[in-house]
Amino acid sequence: MLAYCLLLLSQLFFSIVSASQAAFSTPQYVPQLLSAYDDGLFTPMEDMNILSETEFTVLSHPVFPQYNVRIKKSTFCDPTVKAYTGYIDIEARHIFFYFFESRNDPDKDDVIFWTNGGPGCSSSLGLFMELGPCRISDGNGTSFHPESWNTNSNIFFVDQPVGVGFSHADWGESVGTTEEGAKDIAAFIFVFFEHFSKFKGRGLHMTGESYGGRYVPVFAAEIYDQNTRLAAAGYTPINLTSVMIGNGITDFYHQMSSSFDMQCTAASVPPTLGIADCVRIKAMIPRCEQRLKESCVDHFDAIDCAAAASFCDVHLRAPFWKSELNPYDISQPCDAEGMATNLCYPVTAHIRAYLSRPDVREALGVDPTVAANFSSCSPAVGSAFHAQMDSYRPTQDYVGGLLERGVRVLIYVGTYDWICNWVGNERWTLALEWSGQAAFAAEPLRPWAIGDDFTKGRAGLARSAQGLTFATVDKAGHMVPYDKPKEALDLLQRWLSGKGFLV
């Protein structure tokens, strides 16, 4: 993104103590780090108002000497709130982010971290298409979005991992697993909160969609575990409050068979495949599950797991493409060409065009060495993650671990999505092994409505117990805030308030 040559005012430069992150995790180094803090080698920024609109300010911290955070004011998108853009610099890797203050009370409202999925897709899609303070719906630039998720919260949108969106690496460095990427995100969150201490103690909600079902639990777990080390060193832990996942892929095993339900039953819309195809798919489900269990679940073998996954894709998922329906919204048509050119959503072309404009890039502070034509998703990043079989890891166990430690979890799903559908998401939440499993499974699905006003219609169904909530959003696709912005905002606000879904 931005050139690593930064023009900095001397009074805004923060020293980095020479200590490694590995050393920080070793108890005997804790006094040394505390001494560095007490001796004034670290000075928090505190006030975001003094940030420049033209130059980056560099934030650092002795706990994470390999990490800098570059940040500047950015006047775009929504004139009613303060906006910032910047980079998480990890030596030669640079991850781009947007930050918007709350429209309500930025000094008191909680903080949301948002990531899109892919793996390899830019969170600018979430920002400009779904839940950000402005939307891009045509070639005329941005327009105010009244149902933005910063209505009552401060929010990050992060292009991660490196190689996604405006993020880049100096020498081709890359990340190929979610666990690797989690360390970068956890360090960034800590450095940001330490500098802008008004956010200390605020609830942090880790959120995302699609492959975010893999990212978010792992990122949240890394933050939680990092908190333990921070507390031991005398620092203020991050108030990790909840995880929110929209139409995510979290438990591949329990989600795989749901392809049959979505294509061959009226789980969402009338069956989309012929009877003969459905008979063949149903016969393959036990074989698919057996192969996945033997090669991916009980004992992970990369070669055998890849073969099992390929078998399941061919026999359970490939028949879907005969329908020429939008995999993200099976109530809408989308052929192969539409999928290849704009992910079945023409609005993505407008977003790409906007983020390719030189004036927009200059305002955001994008490195001029980044490719001139913005790309919503990076095939290279996706290939790197797929090569590591990253999606075939037990992500649901991270969810269980978070729940056991009091971190609330919301799984919300649009009912028209096929690719990460509500049937599979319900299936894995019911199968999740944790101390609250029996109580959660005993709860029926109950309807919920915007503002609990059922005279205006049902918004979806929900099940909740002991910190875990599963909620559907009727007639929404893969990107719930895009299809149902009012329902999505109500869903968010009741979650942040702790009100819940069951009345």
- The residues carrying an active-site annotation are 210, 417, 478
Q: Where does residue 247 fall: left (phi above 0), alpha (psi -120 to 50 degrees), or beta otherwise? A: left
Cis status, amide bond into 161, omega within 30 of 0: yes
Please, is 390 exposed, middle or buried when counting C-beta atoms within 10 Å of its C-beta (0-12, 13-18, 19+)?
A: buried
Residues in the chain: 503
| Contact call for residues 315 and 281 (beta carbons, < 8 A) | yes
Count the Cβ atoms, other than its own, within 10 Å of residue 297: 17
From CA 243, how far away is CA 403, in angstroms rounded?
10
From CA 365, how far away is CA 170, in angstroms rounded?
17
Q: Write the DSSP symbol of residue 153.
A: S
DSSP one-letter string for 2-34 = --S-----GGG-----S--HHHHTSGGGHHHHH
Nearest-10 crossing angle of helices 212-232, 395-404: 40
Count the Cβ atoms, other than its own, within 10 Å of residue 420: 26
- Amino acid identity of residue 328, one-letter, is Y
| Contact call for residues 239 and 231 (beta carbons, < 8 A) | no
Helix spans in 366-484 (H): 379-387, 395-404, 422-431, 437-442, 480-483
Q: Tell me the torsion sign for CA atoms 163, 169, 171, 177.
A: negative
Give the three-state DSSP class for 156: strand
From CA 338, how far away is CA 340, in angstroms rounded?
5
Distance in angstroms between the alpha carbons of the first and the last residue of the chain? 48
CA 354 to chain CA centroid, Å, is 22
Residue 29 to residues 221, 224, 226, 236, Cα–Cα distance (Å): 23, 20, 15, 17
- Six token digits for residue 270: 């009338």
